[in-house]
Structure 1
Amino acid sequence: MEDKLVSICIPVFNGSNYLKKAIDSALAQDYPHTEIIVVNDGSTDQGLTESIALGYGDRIRYINQSNRGVAGALNTAVNLAKGEYFAWLSHDDIHLPHKTSAQIRFLSDLGRASACLFSDYDLIDPDDKLITTVRLPADKIRRSPRLPLLNGLINGCSLLIPISIMREFGLFDERLRFTQDYDLWNKILDKQEFFHQPEVLIQYRVHPQQDTQTQKVAPESDPLWMRMINNRTATQRAQISGSSHRFYHSIGTFLRPTPMQKASEHALDLAKRSSREALTSVVIPFLNEIALLHRAVESVQSQLDARVEIILVDDGSTDDTSSIERLAQRDERIKLIRQPNRGAAVARNRGMMSAKGEYIAFLDGDDIFMPNKIRRQLDLMQEHGALFSHTSYYISYPGRKDILGIWRSGQLNGHCYPELIRSCPIAVPTVMLHRSIVDEGFAFPAGCQLGEDVLAWIDLTAKYLLLGIDEPLSVVEWSDTSAAMSLDKQIRGITAMIAIIQSHPIHGKHLSQLESLRAHLADLAGQQHQLSEAEWAAPLVNHAWNTFQSVPADAIGRI
């Protein structure tokens, strides 16, 4: 990397006031392998700009052309450039002496010779006095690489871009006089990643003569910003801001004080509509128990003020499923998928891969949603920018309890990893994910028949914050054979989980949490020799029903 040639391109029009300082800063680079290309874009200042450039002799390459705008001048420079990297220097800005060497070194450390870099910068006034230092939010940019472009944070003169990438995307659009840079960065960002180098490498001059300080920019910028707003996918919007609502609202608010009023209004209008129009895919795996499945599906069909699709995954049922087939034919929101019996994890993964929704929720065939479940959970996720959430839930225990219990699992919130390894209260029918999580590769572990959901939640909390909602929005049905009620299933599930967790390259490092899980398993094994299933389950049942106001168990039949 240390011998790569960097082409520093300086477009100029009537720049006699600041051009010398810009060229001097390019020549002062402590990186030896540079070429400096100055393109005079048809200046009309009686030869003042040209005389400054010619005064540098063969230390720079000088081109004089008829006026084509900044885009045309930059295109000329790029087409003539011999370097492997492009750096832009406006005639009124300054590259600090270590700018080029620092970026080449950063690329080398990054191990990505094809990366595009941008940096922090100083703002200076017409007399070179420091106004302020702009330090970009490095943590936010690491989480959301597209954030700088959409928040106007990329300063073009701080960039270092491989020339091959510049040429691949067709260079700058010469029809654009003011937004040619952001138009090109937006195109490049669809296929290439921009990396933030968190150090000040340039000085950006603010003065009244800049076109960006005038209203002339609005007719070009409004369409550009609208394209940038409209061309982002749901996953990209979530990666940038956490949700579509926050994405649109933040851009609309950002643009409100600028001349780009049409784009601002467009973004704010989309923000209002995004929550109501968001589609939620509900994945329901099932194996027989068709009567209960009808009840589960009806609870999703009856969701209030929510757009849903229902993905039913038949995991090898042997019962008559014709009624489910007729239900799917009557309701276009229902998609029925069949597979040989391979377990709930594989079935859920099949459902997620077929999901079209921006959000994905899960429901088991013997459980139900409360009528406001999707609307309430989706609103809170949009508001908080959460990609992963769960709620508290009701418990129904037919034949054992005539009122509903409650499990306040939704009190679990925020940074939950690695403590979730010790104990995980999250229930499948309470979880909602943004589809960006699936697009980034999430799947339920298919090799585990018991505890696969807990392993999935552990994986997710290692990467994402958990939004806990302490409102019971689902009803989970227990029976004497439920995993929650079965000491034997608990032991087998935890045993399988320990084997997987301790062999995991990241989870396996959390020894104290693993030891707690092993101690819990040993305690369960000891109780297995002393207690019946019913005696063991009694405290669990009491905990769920002790602190809750009475709700008739048949209430779920009326949902």
Structure 2
Amino acid sequence: MPKVSIIIPAYNAMTYLPQTLESVLRQTFTDFEVLIVNDGSSDPILKWACGIVDPRVKLISQENQGVSAARNTGITHTQGEYIAFLDADDLWESTKLAKQVHCLEENPAIGLVHTWIILIDEQGKSLGRVISSHAEGNAWKQVVEQNPIQTSTVLVRRCCLETVGVFDQNLRSAEDWELWVRIASRYLLAVVKEPLVFYRLHSHNTTKNWRLIEQGLSPVIEKVFQSIPSEAQYLKHRCYGHSNIYIAWQALQSDDKDCEWTRHFLSSAVKYYPQLRYSRQYIRLTLAIAIMKWFGPFGFSRVMAFIYTMRRHVFSI
């Protein structure tokens, strides 16, 4: 039996999937299986999969049911003691699995370990921004307040999923966050404080559709807080506040770069959680809105491109 099972859901993902799989096969930790779940794709994934010679890689095909169903299908076929998730457009640094497996092997009380991420563009070029998280130990409140865990960074014990269940296929967005909340309520978390996952930003990211995210977030937040003790219900307003900040960013960075909706969500965030006015993300977003107002959508894109270039130069990444 492999030690680790890696699940890659794929829906018309051939633009990036070969690079994603290559980053897995370059791992220094090699005791794994890869389950690529073809979720009803119309691209040539079947033909491509026929050319894969590594016996650790398997393709599972199903009718299109969505990413949560694809991940759950993968889970049912896994054999490993540990389960990792990887989106079909993201990449792993070569030591990612080795460092996470070591963490779980050395710390039996840890149920889930995640890592930091670095943002890349469509060509795989670093945008110079590292997204860090310090959600570790008894981090349930951190996970509830705002989602600090990106799915492609996760390595989780199989027994955790057997205890708390899998992804809720009825949720339209943030279904991964809802699962991390369930896990964090029962198990300790760990984080490898290195950017070991490359998160790709491109025009087809599901997070680009801020309207869909807005429609889906309220149901998942309400579901999460149905099972939270009354003494922790104060976190609900904080959660809505952080969620509105997140949607505001997505609205500003969408193709239509909607400043009015961005301001609306930013205002809503502060109404839910006034302390956000002094947060780094609030200040950054306010500055970004000002740049959009001064330079327009085209100028905004050029300014952001310049900032990314400077980040790459300063941090040499």
TM-score normalised by structure 2 residue count: 0.75
- State the AA in 1 paired with 2:238: S
Correspondence 1:80-159 to 2 at 5 A: none
User: Judging changes above 3 Å, is the alpha-carbon distance between structure 1 residues 301 and 418 closer, same or farther for their aligned structure 2 residues?
Assistant: same
Alpha-carbon separation, structure 2, partners of 1:302 and 1:381: 21
Aligned residue type for 2:186: K
* 2:58 counterpart residue number: 335
**Structure 2 CA distance for aligned equivalents of residues 400 and 309 of structure 1:** 25
Specify the SS of the correspondent of 1:501.
helix
* 1:525–1:302 distance in 2 versus 1, CA, 3 Å: closer
Query: What TM-score comes out, normalization by structure 1 length?
Result: 0.44
Q: Which residue does 2:315 correspond to in 1?
A: 549
Residue 379 of structure 1: CA displacement?
A: 0.8
Structure 2 partner of 1:142: none
Distance 2:157 2:96 in 1: 16
The aligned counterpart of 1:464 is 187
Secondary structure of residue in 2 paired with 1:466:
strand
Aligned length: 272
Q: Is the 8 A contact 1:451 1:496 kept in 2?
A: no
**What's 2:148 paired with?**
425
Aligned pairs for 1:154-303 (under 5 A) are: 279-303=3-27
Contact 1:424 1:454 in 2 (8 A): yes
Q: Distance in 1 between matches of 2:87 and 2:158?
A: 19
Q: Which residue in the other structure is 1:513 paired with?
A: 235
CA distance in 1, matches of 2:238, 2:203: 27
CA deviation profile, 1:388-444 (whole Å, cap 9, x unmatched): 1101011102379754421112x2211111332221121011000112213335201
Pair 1:307-2:6 in alignment: no
Determine if the alignment matches structure 1 residue 360 to structure 2 residue 109.
Answer: no
Q: Which amino acid aligns with 1:511?
A: Q
Match of 1:473 in 2: 196
| Greater radius of gyration (CA) | 1
* Deviation for aligned residue 1:461: 0.4
Residue number among 350, 364, 376 corresponding to 2:99 in the alignment: 376
1:508 is displaced (CA, Å) by 7.4
**Structure 2: tracts of 5 or more residues without a match:** 263-280, 289-303
Percent of pairs identical after alignment? Answer: 24
Q: Does the Cα contact within 8 Å between 2:146 and 2:242 map onto a contact in 1?
A: no
- 1:314–1:338 CA contact under 8 A, matched in 2: yes
Amino acid at match of 1:452: E
In structure 2, how many angstroms separate the alpha carbons of the residues matched to 1:325 and 1:525?
Answer: 36
Q: Call closer, same or farther: CA 1:424–1:526 in 2, change over 3 Å.
A: closer
Q: Distance in 1 between matches of 2:152 and 2:102?
A: 17
Q: CA deviation at 1:480?
A: 4.0
1:439 aligned residue: 162
Provide Cα deviations, 1:28-70, integer angstroms capped at 9, x if missing partner. Answer: xxxxxxxxxxxxxxxxxxxxxxxxxxxxxxxxxxxxxxxxxxx
Q: Does the CA contact (< 8 Å) of 1:428 and 1:453 recur in 2? A: yes
Q: Kindly state the Cα deviation for residue 549 of structure 1 after the two structures are TM-superposed.
A: 1.1
Q: Distance in 2 between matches of 1:280 and 1:534?
A: 42
Structure with greater helix share of residues: 2
Distance 1:533 1:375, change over 3 A: same
Q: Conserved in 2, the CA contact under 8 Å of 1:485 and 1:533?
A: no
Contact 1:403 1:550 in 2 (8 A): no
How far apart are 1:467 and its partner, in Å? 0.6
The separation in 1 between residues aligned to 2:116 and 2:7, in whole angstroms, is 19
3-state SS, counterpart of residue 306 of structure 1: coil
